[in-house]
Amino acid sequence: MSVQKEMKEPIYYGDPATTRGISVFAQEFDQLFSYDEGDLGLTYSSACSSFCLWAPTAQEAELVIYDSWQGAAGSKYAMIRDIRGTWRATVDGDLDGKFYTYRVRLGEQWNEAADPYARAVGVNGDRGAILDLRKTDPERWTEDKPSFEDPVDAIIYELHLRDLSIHPASGMAHKGQYLALAEEGTRGPEGILTGLDHIADLGVTHVQLLPIYDYSTESVDETKLDEPHFNWGYDPKNYNAPEGSYATDPYVPGLRIQELKTMIQALHDRGLRVIMDVVYNHVYDGYRVNFTKLVPGYYLRYKQDGSLSNGSGCGNDVATERLMMSRFIVESVVYWAKEYHIDGFRFDLMGLMDVDTMRETRRRLDGIDPSIMTIGEGWMMGTELPMERLAHQKNASLMPGIGHFNDDFRDAIKGNIFLYDQPGFISGMMGLEPAIKAGIAGGIDFSPGIKQFAVEPQQNVNYVECHDNHTLWDKIVLSTEGETVTQRRSMHRLASAIVFMSQGIPFIHAGQEFMRTKDGVENSYKSSVEINRMDWELCAAHQEDVVYMKQLIELRKAHPAFRMRTAADIRNHLVFEKAPASAVAYTLRGHAGGDAAKHIYVLFNSNAEQTTVVLPQLGAWKTIFGADLTQELTGNKLTVNGIGTVVLTAK
């Protein structure tokens, strides 16, 4: 996530008489002025356009209509004060192609801002765009989605759109754009699959996209796309409109919408669902964002001294617990799910959001499609809201159906992400076996000493690499001084295997399948494209590792025992077996979801030397994965040689 410089500017809260003397910070403010009619923002038709703004602290409000995304004074229309802090205006005629903003008077000061509810915006997002959304639907735009039963069946592939295609050897025509991910038949060095074909061929089920909503101009200026630029996009500006820098022409407001939909349809047609990375915990700038200009003080959290709360580290925290902010978030998620057919949402710094908003989001999505996933970063972070109200891991029991990234499992596997030279289980750190077992069990309360935050496995997301921090390969390099490339490659493979053969939801970062490197850069949110891009030449050189990842995915899909639906099933069928230090072994015994007569034995071994384990007497064992490591398999004894994973089955 990007870090924004806090800009100290005065905030004017308006005349208290306008709000009957009730401060925006008071609980009574929501009781008096919260509005839930659901028609905020623009309602367009070819006959007229209606606008509804929530701005209870304003003495006056105006709608401004512009002919262009910039410059030229617009036509102003006085808005009429309505119930519970709302203002309304209707303009006759077809405004398709026009742009709009709101102006509010707070005391003697006039503030102008884009509509927070705008569903289309002009270049760089300073004005809302008026258009007929149905004209943005691509020629093929269906409600059909790939079949999907349970979150633990998901295999998530996290991707930054620009990373995918910008490499000169990507074989994609629409480099850095939405349409690149819709291209089929693309090939790279030595004829390897790239882009959509590569992702579909891996066998993943969900593509998780780093932010695709409109983000700050300070990150990427949409008028200067011919200049070098890059950003992850964790600095929200307009939550309900797509980012323009990924469009073929950011100056045409409807085009980015159409091209994003075209991309989503292409993914659905290839059997891939789409998860959207959403950042409702902070905004790009707490003083200049449209929320603050229209209703100063309401939408963000403040400390007792009047300064902005900054648990996010980005200069501000969104006050998700305030009714109108909470409703905005829920309605925004619902909008993306309905209008764009989004199949899941990943909540950035979810631990800064409140439990009630997350629960309501899950409830509303269940009403649309229960298979829509909700996962997030449930970190415990300091903010101006009590810990018992925040959506972090320790409150997972209050949020059924919402998954949390398992950072303890991640760090146990590869080493603490903040201590660069610290190794993990895969690289020889001793004493991490209990932490590895806790992740294998899906983060549930499995047994004394093996317990994490999850009530059910659907609440646990397993991963060893994501866009944040070092790639897995770079972390291994930093923490294994003097090791050979061959040994590091074995460690890398072992880490991925642990993710796929553990209970819960597996998650990988784009390029993890070919040992992606960012040349040691820890957080590349605004690094050059050369650091961030997916290196298709590296992919071509590591095709054996790509095949290895495919085999892991196939193995997980083939055996329901790796993706048990309930904590009770896990406790009934998972048994940890005896293993030497720096190794973890377990059996999945007669899982009812598969062949009741079949048992699975898994060994994760981080010993570089020969290792022997005694197998439980459950039948005749045979190797189905890791035969290259298996030195001897006779009776109830397995001997392996080197770092890696072996999987056996018995009937």
**SS3 sequence of 389-417:** HECCHHHHHHCCCCEEECHHHHHHHHCCC
Read off the pLDDT of residues 510-534 as tens digits, 9 standing for 90 and up: 999 999 999 999 999 999 999 999 9
Q: What is the distance between the alpha carbons of residues 310 and 299, in angstroms, rounded to a whole number?
A: 14
Choose among 156, 202, 168, 200: nearest CA to 181. 200
**SS3 sequence of 116-128:** CCCCCECHHHCCE
Instruction: For strands 206-209 and 109-113, give the pairing.
Output: unpaired
Read off the pLDDT of residues 293-320 as tens digits, 9 standing for 90 and up: 999 999 999 999 999 999 999 999 999 9
Choose among 156, 76, 92: nearest CA to 553. 156
Confidence class for position 553, pLDDT limits 50, 70, 90: very high
Q: What is the distance between the alpha carbons of residues 115 and 293, in angstroms, rounded to a whole number?
A: 10
pLDDT above 70 for 4: no
Choose among 642, 648, 626, 641: nearest CA to 428. 642
User: What pLDDT does 264 receive?
Assistant: 98
Q: What is the distance between the alpha carbons of residues 132 and 112, in angstroms, rounded to a whole number?
A: 24
Residues annotated as catalytic are 348, 377
Residue in the structure block whose two tokens are 């030195």: 631
pLDDT above 60 for 1: no
Residue 590 identity (one-letter amino acid): G
For residue 261, CA distances in Å to 135, 142, 484, 537 come to 12, 10, 45, 30
Q: What is the distance between the alpha carbons of residues 83 and 66, in angstroms, rounded to a whole number?
A: 27
Question: How large is the angle between the packed helices 472-479 and 407-414, nearest 10 degrees?
Answer: 50
User: What pLDDT does 58 receive?
Assistant: 96
Q: What is the distance between the alpha carbons of residues 289 and 287, in angstroms, rounded to a whole number?
A: 6
For the beta carbon of residue 319, count every other beta carbon within 10 angstroms.
Answer: 24
Alpha-helix residue ranges (DSSP H) falling in 211-353:
253-269, 290-294, 323-339
Confidence class for position 13, pLDDT limits 50, 70, 90: low
